[in-house]
């Protein structure tokens, strides 16, 4: 089943279950997907947001909420931090399993070999290959320094 269909099915189920917080989070996901479609409209008005783009949207939403959790915890607002964690749990239902550290290092090594990278100048190619293969499975902000370390 396509990712967007899964989100819509979960939305309908949340309505039936009267799960208000879950429903609100699923509506936020749908709104973000629609915003992406509107932003990407071409002259003929047809835009389709595929699973890869949706995974990127979900990863971004998760990252934003993790930052909010940190800020709320530092500010002593544990109730708001917990609400953000609940949203993260709903969003992560639609993301693929996150790779562990060993799997990330293997993926980096494989991407370096596939691209034939020899220096830091090839970092863009490596990151592109990783994003193509592992969208939603790793935090690319954290992976960048690891790629640099491997190339350096």
Q: Domain spans of the chain?
A: 3-92, 101-151
Q: How far apart are CA 111 and CA 127, in angstroms?
A: 8
> Do 101-151 and 3-92 fall under one CATH topology?
no
CATH superfamily label, 3-92:
Uncharacterised protein YqeY/AIM41, N-terminal domain (1.10.1510.10)
pTM of the entire predicted model: 0.75
Which pLDDT value is given to residue 43?
57
Spelled out in words, what is the top-level CATH class assigned to the domain 101-151? mainly alpha
- Predicted confidence (pLDDT) at residue 1 exceeds the cutoff of 70: no
| pLDDT mean across residues, the chain | 89
Confidence band for 46, pLDDT divided at 50, 70 and 90: low
pLDDT per residue as tens digits for the range 105-117: 999 999 999 988 8
């Amino acid at each position: 089943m396509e990712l967007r269909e899964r989100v819509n099915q979960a939305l309908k189920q949340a309505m039936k279950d009267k799960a208000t917080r879950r429903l609100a989070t699923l509506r936020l996901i749908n709104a973000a997907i629609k915003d992406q479609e509107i932003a990407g409209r071409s002259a003929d008005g047809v835009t389709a947001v595929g699973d890869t783009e949706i995974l990127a949207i979900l990863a971004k939403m998760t990252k934003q909420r993790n930052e909010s959790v940190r800020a709320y915890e530092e500010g002593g607002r544990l109730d708001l931090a917990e609400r953000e964690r609940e949203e993260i749990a709903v969003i992560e239902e639609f993301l693929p399993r996150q790779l562990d550290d060993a799997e990330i290092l293997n993926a980096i090594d494989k991407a370096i070999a596939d691209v034939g990278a020899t220096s830091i100048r090839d970092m863009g190619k490596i990151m592109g290959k990783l994003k193509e293969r592992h969208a939603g499975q790793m935090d690319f902000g954290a992976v960048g320094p690891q790629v640099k370390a491997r190339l350096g």
